[in-house]
Structure 1
Amino acid sequence: MGYPNGLVAQAKQPLFTFGVITDVQYADIPDGRSFLGVPRYYRNSILVLQNAIQNWNNHQNISFSLNLGDIVDGFCPKDQSLNAVKKVVNEFNNFNGPVYHMIGNHCLYNLPRSALLPLLNIHGDDARAYYDFSPIREYRFVILDAYDVSAIGWPIDHPNTVKALNLLNTKNPNEDKNSPNGLSNLERRFLKFNGGVGNEQLKWLDDTLQDATNCNQKVIVCCHIPLDPGATSKESLLWNYDEVMDVIHRYDCVKVCLGGHDHKGGHSVDSRGVHHRVLEAALECPPGTDAFGYIDVFEDRLSLIGSDRMASTEMVFNR
């Protein structure tokens, strides 16, 4: 599928361009529905990814691609999990450039961190999945680990699991910790399929943003779980999004936060002028439709050119 001509042509060439896709959630199982009743096309999602790779390769100027998490679905039969992850990773490897992955809850339903991270080429110490990179001197990408504190992915006796379960038991009285029944407003985020950023990662984020400021870099923060209530449903927020945003708002270098997880997508600009763009899911594309895009990066804005079900978005920096 091609891209719409919805954005005004810009005279200046972008500094660089990168591809984006999220929530492929492939599984070799019949189509189903989400807990909200939205159709999910488990087998077709890998065709959406294949179309994305073909488009990015044909574009030629795309420097790298970003996968914002959830490459396989939680309903994938567990005896197929390893092969399913490898199958999707192999599709990403058909892209003519680097691919940067982040982990999502569905990834962790299938494989523990120790098995998952090497397959995604994430090599953090102590199974951490946060890192940063700079495609050019002027820009830095910060990839957060949204399941740092989580009830999934870590061994059951791991301190991060214990902390997560204690938090859920405190905040969510439901027997089913994936149910928001009875929870009000922003408290509805305290669900087992979400997670949080731990203290060590918060310190790393602070140090990284300070370094980016010292280097006069603009920063794009990427996190599978969204960081702003204006861009997503209350049930799809990072547990401690407020703490993360407190760190981000200490600096003027962060211009955009990209996320997945909430399949319908969204866009907001927060009180400090930071854009939050939650991307639409590949999983929910009926056969013959697509949801992926590429982002042109300029000095003063990002331009997302989306295909089909992914909305094109102009993100002009306010400062």
Structure 2
Amino acid sequence: MDDKPNPEALSDSSERLFSFGIIADVQYADLEDGFNFQGTRRRYYRHSLLHLQGAIEDWNNESSTPCCVLQLGDIIDGYNAQFNASEKSLELVMDTFKRLKVPVHHTWGNHEFYNFSREYLTHSKLNTKFLEDQIVHHPETMPSEDYYAYHFVPFPKFRFILLDGYDLSVLGVDQSSPKYEQCMKILREHNPNTELNSPQGELFL
């Protein structure tokens, strides 16, 4: 006798507890279409804003409104830095997010650090730590001010944890700082590529 549960039966009888939206790699830039680092995938830099607008419209029109949206990084493309358009592009994308009726939790990807320093991001609209659950930290586990990570509970018994994936990184860090030297040492020890930011071997710091 097969005692395995029937997923369809479960979905028919189960009540949805809550929902949330996810979007990643918007990578907006006011540029014509291009390609990724390897030249294998097309990038629709300018058109990406339309996709974001469409996603926001869908979330706003859901019969059961999502509790929040998770923006998983690379909100604008690194090319913006080459054209001194980082702040302008970020402002345009953030203005688009204002149309959303629910909170947005932002994480930082490599393209955020191609455009901005960690200090800039810490004081920018991409810092959504104010949405975290307020808890008392033990003095020994108190995170540093520039460590971007937090957690929150969107629904009882569900906890979301946003981690700082670039805490140890040469991106967005003052090159004269001890942390930069530490990260560069790790890169040189473990990354055989001449171009340290090459995806060959997939070690990113």
| Aligned residue in 2 for 1:97 | 102
Question: Which of 29, 32, 37 does residue 30 from structure 1 map onto?
Answer: 32
Q: In the TM superposition, what are the counterparts of 1:218-297 in structure 2 within 5 Å?
A: none
| Aligned residue in 2 for 1:40 | 43
1:159 and 2:178 correspond: yes
| Aligned residue in 2 for 1:122 | 128
| Aligned residue in 1 for 2:157 | 138
Q: Whole-Å Cα distance in 2 between the matches of residues 83 and 18 of structure 1?
A: 28
Tell me, yes or no, if the aligned pair for 1:131 and 1:144 is still in contact at 8 Å.
Answer: yes
Tell me, yes or no, if the aligned pair for 1:78 and 1:110 is still in contact at 8 Å.
Answer: no
| Aligned residue in 2 for 1:189 | 202
Instruction: Give the direction of change, closer, same or farther, for the CA distance of 1:19–1:115 in structure 2 (3 Å limit).
Output: same
* Residues paired across the two proteins, number: 180
SS at match of 1:189: coil
| Aligned residue in 2 for 1:302 | none
Deviation at 1:102, TM superposition (A): 0.2
| Aligned residue in 2 for 1:239 | none
Q: Whole-Å Cα distance in 1 between the matches of residues 199 and 76 of structure 2?
A: 24
SS at match of 2:185: helix
SS at match of 2:112: helix
Segments of structure 1 that go 5 or more residues without pairing to the other structure are: 1-6, 182-187, 196-319
1:70 and 2:62 correspond: no
Identity %: 38
Q: Which segments of structure 1 move beyond 4 Å, counting only runs of 4 or more?
A: none
Tell me, yes or no, if the aligned pair for 1:172 and 1:180 is still in contact at 8 Å.
Answer: no
Instruction: Give the direction of change, closer, same or farther, for the CA distance of 1:100–1:180 in structure 2 (3 Å limit).
Output: closer
Larger Rg: 2
Instruction: Map Cα deviations across residues 162-191 of structure 1 (whole Å, 9 max, x no partner).
Output: 22111111112332112355xxxxxx122x
Question: Which of 69, 88, 92 does residue 83 from structure 1 map onto?
Answer: 88
SS at match of 2:68: strand
Tell me, yes or no, if the aligned pair for 1:32 and 1:41 is still in contact at 8 Å.
Answer: yes
| Aligned residue in 2 for 1:49 | 52
SS at match of 1:132: strand
Letter in 2 for 1:32: G
Tell me, yes or no, if the aligned pair for 1:86 and 1:119 is still in contact at 8 Å.
Answer: no
SS at match of 2:88: helix
Query: Normalized per residue, which structure has more strand?
Result: 1
Deviation at 1:11, TM superposition (A): 2.7
Q: Whole-Å Cα distance in 1 between the matches of residues 114 and 199 of structure 2?
A: 20
Q: Whole-Å Cα distance in 1 between the matches of residues 193 and 66 of structure 2?
A: 46
Instruction: Give the direction of change, closer, same or farther, for the CA distance of 1:180–1:29 in structure 2 (3 Å limit).
Output: closer
Tell me, yes or no, if the aligned pair for 1:57 and 1:95 is still in contact at 8 Å.
Answer: yes
Q: Whole-Å Cα distance in 2 between the matches of residues 120 and 139 of structure 1?
A: 23
Question: Which of 47, 62, 65 does residue 61 from structure 1 map onto?
Answer: 65
Q: Whole-Å Cα distance in 1 between the matches of residues 199 and 99 of structure 2?
A: 40
Q: Give the CA RMSD over aligned residues.
A: 1.9
- Normalising to structure 2: TM-score of the pair? 0.81
Instruction: Give the direction of change, closer, same or farther, for the CA distance of 1:66–1:150 in structure 2 (3 Å limit).
Output: same
Q: Whole-Å Cα distance in 2 between the matches of residues 25 and 160 of structure 1?
A: 27
| Aligned residue in 1 for 2:118 | 113
Letter in 2 for 1:61: T
Instruction: Map Cα deviations across residues 32-59 of structure 1 (whole Å, 9 max, x no partner).
Output: 0112221100001111110110000000
Deviation at 1:119, TM superposition (A): 1.5
SS at match of 1:20: strand
Letter in 2 for 1:119: K
1:17 and 2:22 correspond: no
